[in-house]
């Protein structure tokens, strides 16, 4: 826990950016009847019935100290998909960084082994030389600020029916762009010092 909190308290380092990474499934649904738009004196109407259209997955990269995020829409969240996201982080999003410090939870796909299972050994090693994983504790995924950003995404963009992957990608990108322009970030106040007081029960007892 303190490992992650120390990252949050440290100043931003352009050569060693801190990026929070997380993912969540999304249920695609379509309308069975065309919604009726709002009219003067009458609210918009939407039928309660809907049709399931499968699922999608959302990967999020969030650099809280820079107010930057990127959301990728994929069909799955297998280890190969995770590996592709890490390569994008290294080669597309932060190509000039010496090392990218990635905060992520303990999902079984969030390992260096996923990169070796996806890429040739030399490529996997190249990427891992630029990635420094910092895992949140078990039952402590709330320490990952990417969860907060996913919650904002859910409330501002995903609280409606979206039927297919292309539309989901378009809507997510439309949400992402103005937040990046505004450099919106998280007002994180939980520090290592506070953790030692508020969560003292998780620390070993010393006589």
At 60-115, the pLDDT tens digits run 999 999 999 999 999 999 999 999 999 999 999 999 999 999 999 989 999 999 99
What mean pLDDT do residues 125-139 have?
95
- Own/partner pairs for 8-11, CB < 8 Å, 24+ apart? 8/64, 8/145, 8/188, 8/191, 9/191, 9/192, 11/65
What mean pLDDT do residues 186-193 have?
83
Q: Give burial (CB, 10 Å; 0-12/13-18/19+) of 14.
A: exposed
- As given in the structure block, the two tokens for residue 33 are 């009847």
Residue 39 in domain:
no
Residue 34 in domain:
no
- As given in the structure block, the two tokens for residue 15 are 């050569």
Give the 3-state secondary structure percentages of the chain, helix then strand then coil, rounded to 5.
Answer: 40, 25, 40
Q: What is the pLDDT of residue 199?
A: 73
Q: What is the pLDDT of residue 65?
A: 95
Residue 36 in domain:
no
CA angle 175, 45, 32 (to 5 degrees): 85
Q: What is the pLDDT of residue 67?
A: 97
Total domain count, the chain? 1
Q: What is the pLDDT of residue 53?
A: 81
Q: Which domain holds residue 174?
A: 2-27+52-202
Residue 37 in domain:
no
Half-sphere exposure of 169 (CA within 13 A, CB side): 7
Q: What is the pLDDT of residue 46?
A: 61
Query: Contact 119/127 with Cβ under 8 angstroms?
Result: yes
Q: What is the pLDDT of residue 182?
A: 97
Contacts of 170 (CB under 8 A, 6+ apart): none
Residue 170 in domain:
yes
| Token pair 């930057």: residue | 68
Q: What is the C-alpha to C-alpha distance for residues 45 and 130, in angstroms, rounded to an integer? A: 51
Give the CATH number, domain containing residue 193. Answer: 3.30.420.10
Q: What is the pLDDT of residue 139?
A: 84
Residue 45 in domain:
no
- pLDDT single digits (tens) 144-174: 999 999 999 999 999 888 999 999 999 999 9
- pLDDT single digits (tens) 9-67: 999 999 999 999 999 999 998 876 666 666 676 666 665 566 778 999 999 999 999 99
Q: What is the pLDDT of residue 203?
A: 58
């Amino acid at each position: 826990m303190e490992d992650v909190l120390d990252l949050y308290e440290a100043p931003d380092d352009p050569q060693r950016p801190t990026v929070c990474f997380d993912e969540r499934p999304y249920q695609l649904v379509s309308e069975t009847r065309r919604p009726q738009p709002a009219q003067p004196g009458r609210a918009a109407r939407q039928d309660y019935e809907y049709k399931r259209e499968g699922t999608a997955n959302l990967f999020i990269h969030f650099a809280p100290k820079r107010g930057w995020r990127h959301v990728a829409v994929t069909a799955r969240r297998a280890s190969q998909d995770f590996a592709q996201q890490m390569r994008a982080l290294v080669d597309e999003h932060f190509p000039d960084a010496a090392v990218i410090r990635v905060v992520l939870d303990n999902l079984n796909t969030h390992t260096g082994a996923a990169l070796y299972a996806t890429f040739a050994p030399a490529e996997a090693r190249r990427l891992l030389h630029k990635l420094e994983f910092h895992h949140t504790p078990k039952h402590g995924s709330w320490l990952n600020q990417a969860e907060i950003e996913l919650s904002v995404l859910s409330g501002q963009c995903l609280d409606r029916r979206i039927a297919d992957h292309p539309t989901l990608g378009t809507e997510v990108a439309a949400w992402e762009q103005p937040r990046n322009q505004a450099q919106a970030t998280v007002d994180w106040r939980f520090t290592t010092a506070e953790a030692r007081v508020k969560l003292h029960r998780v620390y070993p007892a010393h006589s």
